[in-house]
Amino acid sequence: MKRRRESLSVQRLRGPLAHFRRALASGTVRVGFLGGSITDQGTGTRWPEGFSAWLTTRWPKVRWILENAAIGATGSDLAVFRARRDTIDRDCDLVFVEYAVNDRETPVERRARAREGLLRQLLADRGRDVVLVHTFAREFHHDMDAGRVPASVADFETLADHYGLNSVWAGLQAWREVRAGLMRWEEWLPDGLHPEDRGSHSYAQAVIALVNKALARKSPPHPLPAALDEACWERPRLLPFAALERSGPWTERRWGSRNWIDQVLFTTAPGARLRGTFRGRNLIAGFLFGRTSSEFRWRIDGGAWQVSQRDRPEWAGAAGWYRPFVLAENLRAGNHTFELETCFGDTAECDGATTCIAFFGSV
């Protein structure tokens, strides 16, 4: 996708918020949030808090149901496998999607296919409005200083144009406030990435302005067009744990410490093995990962073994980072087999051999 060179805009209006308006009239509105740590409700200081407070003040007689399904350090590639459980099946009338920051280091083709697949799932039954929210990472400022849209944001805007989605570049509004001397950088991003109260207030105000403008539009919603990429991750399939052949001390466990995960496949033994079949061109596994996690080797269709070598940043802790891993990509369409064997990660950063798998998914 081409990098945009144009005047930078905070809000881009492309259609009405018809489902949101209809839900307001009914008296009950469900609002969903998908994104990373900048949107995650865990700290109670992110932009959805200010936005939600505005909703309850602006429409005090409405019953508001909030489904904040944002998870820190996750991107669109994981959201593809979570969207139905955490937003669609919860009947959200309006869903905000914030992944421009966390997708920025994902390979361009993969992130484009994951993003489009995610959006097409959310739009498939036309049962909800979708708004894109772009925030900010330090490396974006080089392009922004030059009047360019950073690639991760620009690629999302291409999809927004194609699907007629409203979008708000909240990070641009805050960046302009800093440049105008209205907010200090350290007020905006105390740790260099995450806005707390002051920065999140700026983001929330940008989103509020977008919603107010979009509600004033009366045009009909856009029909769902054909996909830009027919290979987008639109129809994910989850592989049942019961269908996997196992060797070694595996257990299935309820995982109550994470709201977004019902059960995991768990072992602490190096050399434990799994074998399964899947249909599709891509295979992704979701791990709860950290310093005490194992590595593993795997192969597809009896081919050469590959060995994982995952980074283990200090902020991830001992375990608990919900981290996807692409096991296969761009295979021929059809049925395939995979094998996986756990092993100790032989690096100074690896402190254990626990394997905790939340899902295997194919597209």
Which tens digit of pLDDT belongs to each residue from 345-361?
A: 989 999 999 999 999 99
Same domain as 261, residue 156: no
> Contact 320/71 with Cβ under 8 angstroms?
no
- Burial (CB count within 10 angstroms: exposed 0-12, middle 13-18, buried 19+), residue 304: exposed
pLDDT at 19: 95
Same domain as 286, residue 180: no
Rounded percentage of the chain residues whose pLDDT exceeds 70: 98
Check the CA dihedral 208-209-214-216 and report its sign.
positive
Residue 95, in any domain of the structure: yes
Q: Where are the beta strands (DSSP E) in 295-353?
A: 295-300, 306-307, 321-328, 335-343
Mean pLDDT value across the chain:
95
Same domain as 20, residue 153: yes
Residue 229, in any domain of the structure: no
Give the HSE-up count for residue 307: Cα atoms under 13 Å, Cβ half-sphere.
8
pLDDT tens digits for range 39-67: 999 999 999 999 999 999 999 999 999 99
Q: Which residues pair with 284 in a beta bridge?
A: 326, 361
pLDDT at 5: 43
Same domain as 23, residue 97: yes
Band (pLDDT 50/70/90 cuts) for residue 7 is low
pLDDT tens digits for range 232-243: 999 999 999 999
Region 145-168: mean pLDDT is 97
Spatial CA neighbour of 294 closest among 224, 351, 229, 236: 351
Domain encompassing residue 290? 237-362
Q: Which of 149, 183, 215 is the last residue of a domain?
A: 215
Residue 6, in any domain of the structure: no
Spatial CA neighbour of 273 closest among 303, 254, 294, 290: 294
pLDDT at 3: 47
Number of residues that make up the chain: 363
The CATH number that applies at residue 251 is 2.60.120.260
Q: Which of 215, 247, 280 is the last residue of a domain?
A: 215
Same domain as 129, residue 74: yes
pLDDT tens digits for range 64-93: 999 999 999 999 999 999 999 999 999 999
Residue 223, in any domain of the structure: no
Give the HSE-up count for residue 205: Cα atoms under 13 Å, Cβ half-sphere.
10
Same domain as 62, residue 207: yes
Residue 33, in any domain of the structure: yes
Same domain as 195, residue 100: yes
> Contact 156/167 with Cβ under 8 angstroms?
yes
pLDDT at 84: 97
Residue 3, in any domain of the structure: no
Band (pLDDT 50/70/90 cuts) for residue 125 is confident
Total domains in the fold of the chain: 2
Helices (H), the chain: 18-26, 47-58, 76-79, 83, 108-123, 140-145, 151-163, 170-179, 185-188, 197-215
Give Dmax over CA atoms of the chain in angstroms. 62
pLDDT tens digits for range 216-274: 988 787 789 999 999 999 999 999 999 999 999 999 999 877 789 999 999 999 999 99
Please state, in angstroms and rounded to a whole number, the distance separating the CA atoms of residues 153 and 174.
Answer: 15
In this structure, of 93-102, 123-132, 287-296, the range with the lowest mean pLDDT score is 123-132
Band (pLDDT 50/70/90 cuts) for residue 142 is very high
Residue 196, in any domain of the structure: yes
- DSSP code for 6: S
Statement: residue 33 has pLDDT above 50: yes
Same domain as 151, residue 46: yes
Same domain as 182, residue 103: yes
Statement: residue 2 has pLDDT above 60: no
Spatial CA neighbour of 232 closest among 355, 117, 60, 77: 117
The CATH number that applies at residue 79 is 3.40.50.1110
Same domain as 279, residue 203: no
Long-range contacts of 298-306 (CB under 8 A, 24+ apart): 298/327, 298/338, 298/339, 298/340, 298/341, 299/338, 299/339, 300/327, 300/328, 300/331, 300/336, 300/337, 300/338, 301/336, 301/337, 301/338, 302/337
> Contact 102/36 with Cβ under 8 angstroms?
yes
Residue 221, in any domain of the structure: no
Same domain as 72, residue 111: yes
pLDDT at 257: 74
Same domain as 267, residue 208: no
